[in-house]
Structure formats: C-alpha cells, structure tokens
Chain A
C-alpha cells in the first residue's frame, strides 16, 4: 500500500508538471509569434534583443500602410460567415433526411460525399480557373469564394450533423409526426433545439476551416475577394528581413480565429466527435 501511496504522491506533482510542460511547448510558437510582433524589424533578428527589448506597437500601426490588412480581414469575415451559413442551410436538411429517414443507400451517399473531399484540388484548379474566369466571369468575386468554401466544407458539415442527429431518439421526431407537425416544423421546433450543441460546434469548425483555407482562396482571387491567407502567402518575408512586420500581420491574421476558438473551446470539445464516441 505504501508504494501505491508514494506513487500517487509523486504523480500528483509529476503528472501536472508533464502536462504543463507539453502544453507550454505546444503553445510556444504562437507565443513567439506574438512576442516578435512587438519588436522592430532590426531587433527581431538581433540576438542581443532576444528577450530584453523595448516593445513597440509600430508594426501594428504601420500594418495598414505595409499591408492592406482591413480589406483582407473584412473579406475573410464575410466569406467565412456566409460560407458557414450556406453550408448549414444545405447541410441540416440533408443530414436530417439521412438520419431520420435512412434508405439502403444513405451510407453510400455519405461515403461518396466524403470522397469528394479527397479529390485533389490541384487536379481541378486549372479547369476551375478556366470556368470561372473565361466562361462564368465570377473569378475574384466574394460569391465565388463563398460558394467554393461552402462546397469544400459541405461533406464534413453533413457528416458531423448526421452523427449528432443520429443520437437523437427517433421517437421524439415520430411523436411530432403523429401530432401533425410539418417537416419544416419538425426541423425548426424539434430538431434544431435538440441538436443545438452539435449544430453550433459544426458551425464553429466550419468557420475555422473556412478562415484557414489557403488553396482555393489564394488561387481563385487576385485582390477584390482575397482573404487573409492570400495576404500571408503573398508577403512571406524574403530572407527574414521583416520578421517584426511579418509577425504582426500574422498575429493579426490568426488572432480572431484563435480567440474565437478559446472562447468556444468547451463547445468544440463537446461536439468534435464525428460520431466516434458511443
């Protein structure tokens, strides 16, 4: 017994210590990015000022001069929000139908939808550019970015929603049917309130994926509808001369989504199961 008690005493100290160490290691790169953003470009590459330096907000105040930050940020907010909304509007009814009225092929449809996400984007980039630029004339518009972000995330949205809806007892929906509630009423008054947590965490994850998407948003836009990904990819520092500046704009690009993630962390943890938890 004594050894067990000793062990647990020791692990009382070691366990949190290990957890904290790993957490700090994982967080360190983000900390370093934010830290560097308060140095001038000269200080950032000078070992003398590694930790001791005069913090400056210069990088942030100059951000609008050096980079058109607000335009890109606004575009990111607009496109991510609408893409998430559209994905939910299309995804909720589809997932509802699959979860409560499954046919023999529901599984195949779901698997096929997921498989469309495996289609390598690079393989169809050229046709997409050709179509949107030369034929449809919607290249570099918010509409196109929203549409593409919505389509790229739709399979994951439907899959996540499906796994939540499946956990809701069918009897509740059936009872509504008996009472003569319309399908729209079922979705609006029974399903959405019951699955609110799942829908919220799906929306959150979709929003994160939209915000961080860096292939289509960069390649289907030139300036008008470009998002923060384009800003970062277009301005990566040549030979590290502008570490301070680059850190500031990178911090500003990730800050909204990281803070959102922190606040909704509990929600995300509760919802991010993809049906893996029984």
Chain B
C-alpha cells in the first residue's frame, strides 16, 4: 500500500486534469477578459476546485516527505554494504554506491536464524492481541451497556488502562505483577504453596493435599513465555479502546428490533448473534485496523520484557541489526514494509469500503 497506492494517486490528483475540474473547460480562454461577473465566476470555480486541493496540500506534502525520504534511504542502504564499525573493511562504514551489494543483504537476512521467527512472532502477537481485545471488548461493552448503579465509575475504571504509557505498562506488569519472586505472581504462588503445605498435616484430607504438587511460578522473562507477557499487557491496555468504540456503537442500536425479537421468543444469545454482531461489523473493522497499525510496530514492551530474548518481532529484529549492520537492518525494514503492505491491503479494503457512504 505504501509503495503501491502512492504513484497512481499522485498522478491522478496533482497532474491529471479531468474535464470537469478544469476551469477553462467552462470558461474558454477567449472569453477571459476583464469582465467583472466572469471574474467572479472564475474565482468561484477556482474556490470550488482549487481551494480544496490547496487546503489539503500541506498535509499531503508533509506526509509524503515523511514517508518518501526515509523510505528511499532505507531502500538505498538495503542494497549496499553499510556497517557502523568495521576494523577490517573501514570503507564499508560510509554509505557509498561503490559498496553495492545487490540483493546480498536480503539473502543474508533471509538466512539469519531469527528472521522467520520474528516474522512469525509479529503475526502471532498481533493476531492474539486482536482476538483477545475484540472478544473481551464485545463482552464488556454489552455488559456495561445496561443501566446499573455506579455505571459511570465502572466506565472510568475500565478505560483507565488505555491512558497508561506503554513503557509504564511493561515496567508495571513485568516487575510488580508477573515477577516470579518479587511480583504478585511470585507472592501468590508462594502463599498458595504454604497454604497447601499447612493442609498436608490434616488427618484425612491431608492425604489428598499430599498429592497436590508444589506449584512453580512462571518466569515471564524466559524464552517462550515472554511473548505471552507482551500479549497480556498489550491486550490489557487496548481492550478498553475496543470497549469504548463498541459501547458508542451499541448505544445507537435499534432497541425496537430487540424488543420485537424478545416478543418472538428469541433468546438473548441469538439476539446478540443475529442483531448485535451485524450491527457492530463496522466498529469491529475499525478496532482491528487501528490496533493492527499500532501493534505491528510494537517495540517498548518487547524491549522491556525480555530485551528480545526468545521473543522478538520484525521491528525489534531491525533494531538489533541496526546496532551495527545498517544494510541488513534496512533489508529487514523493507521486508517489514512488505508485511505491513500485505496486511494493509486487507484491512484498508475492509474499512475503506464503508468509509465513504
């Protein structure tokens, strides 16, 4: 999408003059004399067609520069040998066309042991978070859509995690909550174990409690579990976002339809499946899209939880390469752009379809 939509778009919008949009189609040059009424008409035509373009130009140009300059540099670096430090080949430390490597960086990255792992992990992390937040978000939104005492406070408490900055989120979860010794997890497991230990001395019941194994706390900084910790903390933070959007949408649901369904004897569950879920189709698409945008570039959480040990996504892998090998980092960056493109095409289609009506 980043690479693909852009050239076509640029040509259409800024260079192509379709008949209707040219003011000279309505006012042929021959009649363009200093006629006051005509002049006003021309200005009107200009403000109808040209002004909107002028108004959106700053935004378009800013984003274009923001996207194209670094992207083309990344593309360039991905085809040359470029490292930050090298005693053997000092000439590689300055970017230059004479260090051309062709697709060598790409081959190097594809062979790197972590590449496919990071690629797969990126997708797994994003999909798990999406799944959890959408399902939980739907449930919670339905739950608080009713009137009950203290609903305002419940709402405030529920959306609070969304305001927490990712760095604090990660520090809080991995230290104060999930730490196997000092965190709440460690304390809870320790407490449970000593409780069961005490019960072992009971005459009859003690026999059963003796069968109960001693529970080991889970270290979430270890290789396989750190991605679970990341998924957990990000889902905690973003479920409130899903709740917010679903909640607003639920309020616009047609109540009379539901009442009719109740009179017809439809169960609450079938009402939810047949009426509420279709009504929420669009908000679900929006939630999925916005979250994918944010989670594909997840970094702080992964850095803080495990420093990439056993759990890294593409952005993190790029960061690791970029410590020295800029060429490889750039090639990985291009792969990340391709992955984002693939996902973007699906998502933007899904949302774009309903955006303009």
| A residues in contact (CB < 8 Å) with B | 12, 15-16, 18-20, 22-24, 26-27, 29-30, 32-33, 36, 45, 47, 50, 90-91, 93-94, 96-98, 100-128, 130-131, 151, 154-156, 158, 183, 208, 211-212, 214-215, 218, 228-229, 232-233, 236-237, 240, 243, 246-247, 250, 253-254, 257-258, 260-262, 265, 268-270, 272-278
Contact = CB atoms under 8 A, between A and B. Distances in A.
Contacts of B9: 105, 108-109, 112
B304 A120 contact: no
A23 B158 contact: yes
A91 B191 CA distance: 55
A93 B54 CA distance: 9
B355 interface: yes
Contacts of B314: 120, 122
30 contacts: A16-B149, A19-B151, A22-B140, A26-B158, A26-B160, A27-B158, A47-B190, A91-B59, A94-B56, A97-B51, A97-B56, A108-B8, A112-B1, A113-B63, A114-B293, A118-B2, A119-B337, A123-B71, A123-B74, A154-B59, A183-B47, A183-B55, A208-B162, A215-B297, A236-B167, A240-B179, A254-B163, A257-B163, A260-B163, A277-B248
A265 B159 contact: yes
Interface in B299-355: 299-300, 303-304, 314-316, 318-319, 322, 326, 329-330, 332-334, 336-337, 340-341, 343-344, 348, 352, 355
Contacts of B173: 29
B330 A123 contact: yes
Nearest to B6: A112
A214 B9 CA distance: 32
Nearest to B68: A116
A104 B47 CA distance: 17
B322 A151 contact: no
Contacts of B56: 93-94, 97-98, 109
- Give me the 10 closest cross-chain CB pairs, A-B, nearest first: A123-B333, A124-B70, A127-B73, A97-B52, A122-B315, A101-B52, A16-B148, A94-B59, A212-B165, A232-B167
Contact of B240 (A26, A247, A277): A26
A20 B155 CA distance: 9
A30 B154 contact: no
Interface stretch (B25-33, B109-117, B282-290): B282-290
Contact of A269 (B190, B248, B286): B248
A119 B299 contact: no
Contacts of B163: 208, 212, 254, 257-258, 260-261
Contacts of A26: 157-158, 160-161, 236, 239-240
Residue from the set A27, A36, A127, A272 with the largest chain B CB neighbour count within 10 Å? A127
B121 interface: no
B193 to A, nearest CB: 12
Nearest to B58: A90
A233 B305 CA distance: 11
B319 A122 contact: yes
Given A111-B5, A115-B348, A151 B167 contact: no
Residue from the set B190, B239, B283 with the largest chain A CB neighbour count within 10 Å? B283
A119 B175 CA distance: 31
Contact of B166 (A103, A214, A265): A214
Nearest to B244: A272
A97 B53 contact: yes
A218 to B, nearest CB: 8
Interface in B16-66: 18, 21, 47-49, 51-53, 55-56, 58-60, 62-63, 66
A248 to B, nearest CB: 12
Nearest to B169: A29
Nearest to A128: B70
Contact of A120 (B158, B172, B176, B340): B340
A269 B155 CA distance: 10
Interface of B: 1-2, 5-6, 8-9, 12-13, 18, 21, 47-49, 51-53, 55-56, 58-60, 62-63, 66-67, 69-71, 73-74, 77, 140, 143-144, 146, 148-151, 153-168, 170-173, 175-177, 179, 181-184, 187, 190-191, 236, 239-240, 244-245, 247-249, 252, 282-283, 285-286, 289-290, 292-293, 296-297, 299-300, 303-304, 314-316, 318-319, 322, 326, 329-330, 332-334, 336-337, 340-341, 343-344, 348, 352, 355-356
A6 B141 CA distance: 24
A232 B245 contact: no
A94 B173 CA distance: 40
Contacts of B239: 26
Contacts of A272: 244-245, 248
Given A229-B167, A236-B304, 12 more contacts: A98-B56, A101-B49, A107-B356, A120-B296, A121-B315, A122-B316, A154-B59, A233-B167, A254-B165, A274-B290, A277-B249, A277-B252
Contacts of A32: 172, 176-177, 184
A122 B318 contact: yes
A30 B233 CA distance: 12
A90 B140 contact: no
Contact of B159 (A36, A232, A261): A261
A247 to B, nearest CB: 7
Contact of A250 (B70, B168, B181, B285): B168
Residue from the set A23, A97, A237 with the largest chain B CB neighbour count within 10 Å? A23
